[in-house]
């Protein structure tokens, strides 16, 4: 049953990803696009990947800091391997990376899985706050330019979704769920399933509240700023790799970083299709053509990062398997 559900999830998300890719690339001359990608300056792409790698290393150090604040002791190497393995897992299923990286570290360092989930939630909340702050700063910096774009985007989203209907559905589900809990509360509390869920939630909350006991908060803040600075630089530097974007400045790079960050929230494998469509659309406000220039930048950005993730994730998995094999051989001897 579990295998069937997992297969169904994979099928649904894969179809959603293919749907995004189809709508984004359906009118694109792919051969011409690949030719333009091949003509891009590789120096700037490699520099972008360097900034990305530094960002991943700092992210691993930050996660290690959060975990170790609660008297657990994980190594930087395993933190980095867990994160890169998680990035690779996101290519199979959206958000699988968060679970995979926690499972990896639980296996390697014997840290409770539910606690690690809590620390990942902390990271995600902080990153969303940073993304929102950057969005406001960017919109205010060039209010007439970016502000209009964001306003129009939100208006389109608002018109496309029946907000009242969604609120009514959500409220109805909440009320029905609440009534059922009240009616069967005593029976639910006595079940093994409830106790397991309760313990799991307690572990998650323990991970979330770890940040309250963190002694090196200044280092945590510096690491968070450094991560986003690296992501900013890795996006901006790609502007110089191709002719259509080489005259865009660092604030424009920040705007595209935000667009890409929002795209990665969409529940598709590794942002495929969603990243390309949203980033290419964002670049059209500079007068770039969506199909030939916007997608060119998006493809270079996304696919270069994807190659880096595949390399790092594969290396992390293979090196870990190699260590396990050596341990098994020694134990048999």
110: left (phi over 0), alpha (psi -120 to 50) or beta: left
| For the ranges 61-75, 114-128, 289-303, the one whose mean pLDDT is highest | 289-303
Across 208-226, b (16+ Cβ under 10 Å) vs e yields bebbeebeeeeebeebbeb
Contacts of residue 100, defined as CB under 8 A and 6 or more positions apart, other chains included, come to 85, 86, 88, 89
Nearest to 233 by CA among 46, 52, 40: 52
In terms of pLDDT, which residue wins out, 304 or 199?
304
Nearest to 302 by CA among 56, 57, 14, 91: 91
Nearest to 141 by CA among 252, 295, 293, 307: 252
Q: How far apart are CA 40 and CA 243, in angstroms?
A: 8
3-state secondary structure at position 264: coil
- Does 164 score more than 70 pLDDT? no
User: pLDDT category, 22, cuts 50, 70, 90?
Assistant: confident
In terms of pLDDT, which residue wins out, 94 or 74?
74
In terms of pLDDT, which residue wins out, 308 or 207?
308
Nearest to 36 by CA among 319, 288, 323, 332: 288
270: buried, middle or exposed (CB in 10 Å: 19+, 13-18, 0-12)? buried
User: In the chain, which ranges are continuous DSSP H helix?
Assistant: 2-25, 30-38, 42-68, 76-89, 96-109, 113-141, 148-160, 163-183, 185-189, 192-208, 217-236, 250-263, 274-283, 295-332
Q: What is the pLDDT of residue 160?
A: 45
- Does 236 score more than 50 pLDDT? yes
| For the ranges 75-79, 161-165, 191-195, the one whose mean pLDDT is highest | 75-79
Residue pair 194/181 in contact by the 8 Å Cβ criterion? no
User: What's the CA dihedral at 287, 292, 294, 297 to 10 degrees?
Assistant: -130
> What are the pLDDT digits (tens) for 262-284?
888 888 888 888 899 999 999 99
User: pLDDT category, 159, cuts 50, 70, 90?
Assistant: very low
CA distance readout (Å), 68 to 55, 116, 167, 200: 20, 11, 40, 20
> What are the pLDDT digits (tens) for 205-224?
666 667 777 778 899 999 99
> What are the pLDDT digits (tens) for 103-153?
999 999 989 998 898 889 889 888 988 998 998 888 777 666 665 565 555
């Amino acid at each position: 049953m579990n295998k069937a559900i997992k297969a169904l999830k994979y099928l649904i998300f894969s179809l959603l990803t293919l749907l995004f890719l189809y709508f984004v690339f359906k009118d694109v001359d792919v051969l011409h696009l690949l030719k333009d990608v091949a003509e891009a300056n590789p120096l700037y792409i490699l520099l972008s990947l360097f900034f990305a790698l530094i960002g991943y290393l700092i992210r691993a150090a930050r996660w290690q800091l959060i975990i170790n604040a609660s008297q657990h002791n994980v190594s930087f190497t395993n933190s980095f391997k867990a994160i890169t393995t998680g990035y690779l897992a996101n290519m199979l299923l959206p958000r699988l990376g968060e679970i995979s990286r926690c499972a990896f570290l639980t296996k390697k360092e014997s840290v409770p899985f539910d606690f690690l989930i809590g620390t990942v939630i902390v990271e995600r909340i902080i990153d969303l706050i940073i993304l929102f702050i950057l969005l406001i700063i960017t919109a205010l910096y060039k209010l007439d330019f970016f502000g209009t774009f964001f306003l129009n985007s939100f208006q389109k989203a608002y018109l496309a979704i029946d907000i009242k209907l969604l609120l009514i559905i959500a409220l109805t589900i909440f009320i029905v769920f609440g009534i059922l809990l009240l009616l069967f509360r005593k029976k639910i509390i006595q079940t093994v399933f409830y106790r397991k869920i309760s313990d799991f939630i307690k572990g998650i909350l323990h991970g979330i509240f770890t940040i309250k006991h963190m002694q090196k908060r200044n280092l945590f803040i510096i690491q968070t700023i450094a991560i986003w600075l690296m992501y900013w630089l890795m996006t901006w530097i790609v502007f110089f790799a191709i002719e259509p974007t080489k005259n865009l400045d660092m604030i424009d790079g920040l705007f595209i970083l935000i667009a890409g960050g929002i795209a990665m929230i969409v529940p598709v494998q590794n942002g495929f299709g969603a990243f390309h469509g949203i980033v290419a659309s964002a670049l059209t406000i500079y007068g770039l053509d969506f199909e030939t220039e916007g997608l060119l930048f998006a493809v270079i950005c996304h696919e270069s990062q994807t190659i880096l993730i595949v390399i790092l994730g594969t290396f992390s998995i293979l090196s870990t398997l190699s260590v396990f094999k050596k341990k098994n051989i020694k134990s048999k001897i």
